[in-house]
Amino acid sequence: MKVKIINIGDELLIGQVVNTNAARMSQLLTEAGMEVDSVETIGDDGSAIENTLSNALASADAVLVTGGLGPTKDDITKNVLCRMFDSELVESEVALDNVKRIFAARGYELTPVNRAQALVPRCCKVLNNDLGTAPCMWFERDGRVTVSLPGVPFEMEWLMKNRVIPALREHFNTGTIINKNILVQGIGESFLSDLIEPWETSLPANVKLAYLPVAGMVKLRLTARMQGNADTTDINSLLPGLYALAGKHIVGEDCETMEELVARAMTSRHLTLATAESCTGGAIAQRLTALAGASEYFRGGVVAYSNDVKINMLGVSTDTLAAHGAVSEETVREMAEGARTRLGADYAVATSGVAGPSGGTPEKPVGTVWTAIAGPDGTIAKLLHYGDRRQQTIDRTCNQVLADIVRRVAL
């Protein structure tokens, strides 16, 4: 079955907002075994919406539309849907109860403007939006489906997961899709592909493999399409073959990011972690703490950007800095050990490098990075070489360090 996505919003066409909805929707649909054929982004304009929607419905099984459902001026989408489906706006009891519930919970008075959010085309089915007042509307014609969702990312995501994808699955009788993520780090996509080719070619016909590379790591995604009763045992039974070929590059399973694996590895072992960051400038701490529950294992960190801070806050010796420089094995080891002791953690990681664009020398060109992990069993340092793009060097260093923490404590 083929899906088209239409995202409505003037803010997307002036580049004010990056269209993350498109990526998130595509990801969720792909994981559910539905193929996204195209994504179209258009402005808050009735005739553009009508044209785009008509064209999409001519060639797709399902068209998912986001945006244009706000409480004030931007109810354009609903009116277009009314025209297209020869319907009229009526007050939906389900939608009104939902609006009332949300206003009561927030302690607000229900205004006529907000009550109007419960108006929907008579011919649609309302899929309840537990997180917001804008209704999610499901239309059917000739077996094809049109769904209109609010554009607010967290409402869209909740509705996709809990309402839209289950309903699409039932309507199109797609069978069960099981996904399995495996996080690989420290090997490039093409080398990994060569390495695991014998295993990949031996996969059963109902299982597909995707390579999703991001900043020095590769997420492998296995997608199995099942008919009837299926459980994850089937897909897990395929993994020993993968581990036999690429086991030493595999960091973990069943997650999206390295920081999730770190959180799981540390909390399940009741271990604590600290950071001492120079070239990554706080990015490791920021990624760890972006996940709720980080305080269970993350004690804190030092962003040691200047040498003084390395000396005063982490106890790096002035002699070490004078003899070897800030970007050196000796310094990064002392940073990690200092962080471990002073922040009172079981493990501490440190980074020091030349992120660029300036600061490179013939011996330590831009992209040279030292990392270290200090733990109860000693300190291990590592030298990395990246290119001349600052943000890429920061992102790759983060993924390398996070993977190495997991390897150190969990593998």
Q: Is there binding between residue 1 and its own copies (CB under 8 A)? A: no
115-147: b (≥16 Cβ within 10 Å) or e: bebbbbbebbebbebebbbbbbbbbeeeebbbb
Q: In angstroms, what is the minimal distance from the CB of 262 to its own copies?
A: 14
The residue within the footprint of its own copies, chosen from 195, 212, 245, 384 (CB under 8 A), is 212
Residues 6+ apart with CB under 8 A from 139: 81, 85, 121, 123, 124, 125, 145, 146, 147, 148
Token pair 């075994």 is found at 33
Closest distance to its own copies from the beta carbon of 228 (Å): 26
Residue among 58 and 244 whose Cβ is closer to its own copies: 58
**In the complex, what is the shortest distance from the CB of residue 359 to its own copies, in angstroms, rounded to a whole number?**
8
Q: Both tokens of residue 114?
A: 């907000």
Instruction: Determine contact, residues 28/64, Cβ cutoff 8 Å.
Output: no
* Binding flag, residue 12, its own copies (CB under 8 A): yes
Using CB under 8 A, which of 1, 17, 195, 245 touches its own copies? 17
Three-state SS for 365?
coil
Please identify which residue in 209, 389, 408, 410 interacts with its own copies, judged by CB under 8 A.
389
Of 285, 332, 335, 401, the one binding its own copies by CB under 8 A? 285
HSE-CB for 150 with a 13 A CA cutoff = 23
Which positions from 329 to 368 touch its own copies by CB under 8 A, shown as an x/- string?
-------------xxx----------xxxx----------
Residues contacting 18, CB < 8 A, separation 6+: none
Strands (E), 363-410: 368-375, 378-385
Q: Under rule CB under 8 A, which residues in 129-158 are in contact with its own copies? A: 154
Could you tell me which stretch among 234-242, 277-285, 328-336, 370-378 binds its own copies (CB under 8 A)? 277-285
Query: In terms of Cα–Cα distance, which of 148, 145, 151 is closest to 168?
Result: 145
- For the bound state, the minimum distance from the C-beta of residue 163 to its own copies, rounded and expressed in Å, comes to 19
Report the C-alpha gap between 121 and 136 in whole angstroms.
11
Q: CB 20 → its own copies: shortest distance, Å? A: 6
Q: What share of the chain is helix, strand, coil (3-state, %, to 5)?
A: 45, 25, 30
Q: Does 105 bind its own copies (CB under 8 A)?
A: no
Which position among 76, 118, 120, 303 is part of the footprint of its own copies (CB under 8 A)?
Answer: 303
Give me the least distance between CB of 305 and its own copies, in Å please: 4
Pick from 188, 203, 282, 317 the residue near its own copies by CB under 8 A.
282
Site for its own copies in 306-335 (CB under 8 A): 306, 308-309, 312-313
Minimum CB–partner distance for residue 1 and its own copies (Å): 14
Q: Which is nearer to its own copies, 58 or 411 (CB)?
A: 58
Number of Cβ within a 10 Å radius of residue 397: 27
At a CB cut-off of 8 Å and minimum separation 6, what does 214 contact? 399
Taking CB under 8 A as the criterion, the residue among 68, 121, 301, 353 binding its own copies is: 301
The single residue among 85, 103, 172, 305 that binds its own copies, judged by CB under 8 A, is: 305
Of the candidate spans 87-95, 234-242, 374-382, 386-394, the one that interacts with its own copies by CB under 8 A turns out to be 386-394
Distance CA 297, CA 316 (A): 25
